[in-house]
Structure 1
Amino acid sequence: MKKYSFRLQKLLDIRIDKEEECKRTFQKVQKDKFEAENKLNDLKNSYKKHNRVEQEDTTIERKMRQQYLSTLSNSINVATTDLEKKIKVVDDVRVELKQKQMDRKTVEILKEKSWQNYLKEQEAIEQKCNDEFALYGFFRNLKGGELSDR
């Protein structure tokens, strides 16, 4: 009986490695996106917290607060733009990951079909051997029966 070997195993291994690498990249960009979302939320919360006008504040305090809020507003705009870029990167990497998974699954399907064909061949070989043994046994019994009949 011959040993089963898949001719495209190296290709399958390469595609699995590429998929794993893409998964790691996806996790990294997703983490970056999550951090950008947290940063944006922190900035927005800080803006809400300092956006109150206090009657007791002096003109200088109001001016400083206004300056701080203006800086926060600019930071929020930058963080929003950064988050949008990170969302796009996550979407791009997600599409790439799906493609790599399809590539791997394609080769795995070929491997499964090849394995099934191998099993069918082995079953056919085994059946042929069993048929030959049965035929030899039949002829042996037939010859033995003829000799005892004479």
Structure 2
Amino acid sequence: MSKGFVFRLQKVLDIREEKEEESKRFFRESQKALNEAKIELSNMESNANKYKGIKPNEDVVYQKIKRTYLKALELGIKDKKKEVIDKKEEVEYRRNDLLNKQIDRKTVEKLKEKEREAFFKEIDRVEQINNDEFALYAYMRNLKGGEI
């Protein structure tokens, strides 16, 4: 047993850790895309609020251009809201995937810890048996030495 502790499922643990890291990366990317979509939506809504209404001294051509721009913004806002909803669903999916990958990794880590504890308990048990045997030999040697 001088070899030391070797976990026979180490490759499985390594693979699960890699999958978890990949899942973390996908989650971060999805979260970033959601935040960017929210910012774009906010900008579009602020532009829509900025150009709403008719101000004095605006000519008819400018009003028509502004109205066309507002219509385009409204369509863009509608599409962007759908995109934000889709991104939220993707983030939620990625979050659940990440949680599952973490559970898988932790399961194998628990197995590793249990095997490590069993390994060291076995080493301690063998060591204790050897110590008991040495003590018994010493006792017997002292006992025989006293009788002769």
**Separation (CA, whole Å) in 1 of partners of 2:131 and 2:53:** 91
Matched, 1:127 2:128: yes
The one-letter code sitting in structure 2 at the alignment partner of 1:27 is R
Percent identity (aligned):
42
**Separation (CA, whole Å) in 2 of partners of 1:41 and 1:11:** 45
1:16-67 CA distances to partner (integer Å, 9 max, x unpaired)? 0000001001101110000000000000011111113202111111111111
Query: How many residue pairs get matched?
Result: 147
Matched, 1:41 2:62: no
The gaps in structure 2 that reach 5 residues or longer are: none
**Separation (CA, whole Å) in 2 of partners of 1:76 and 1:107:** 46
Q: TM-score, normalised by structure 1?
A: 0.95
Q: Give 1:58-69 correspondences, 5 Å limit.
A: 58-69=59-70
**Aligned match of 1:113:** 114
Q: TM-score, normalised by structure 2?
A: 0.96
* SS of match in other structure, 1:145: helix
**Aligned match of 2:72:** 71
**Separation (CA, whole Å) in 1 of partners of 2:147 and 2:13:** 60
The one-letter code sitting in structure 2 at the alignment partner of 1:108 is E
**Separation (CA, whole Å) in 2 of partners of 1:99 and 1:54:** 56
The one-letter code sitting in structure 2 at the alignment partner of 1:117 is A
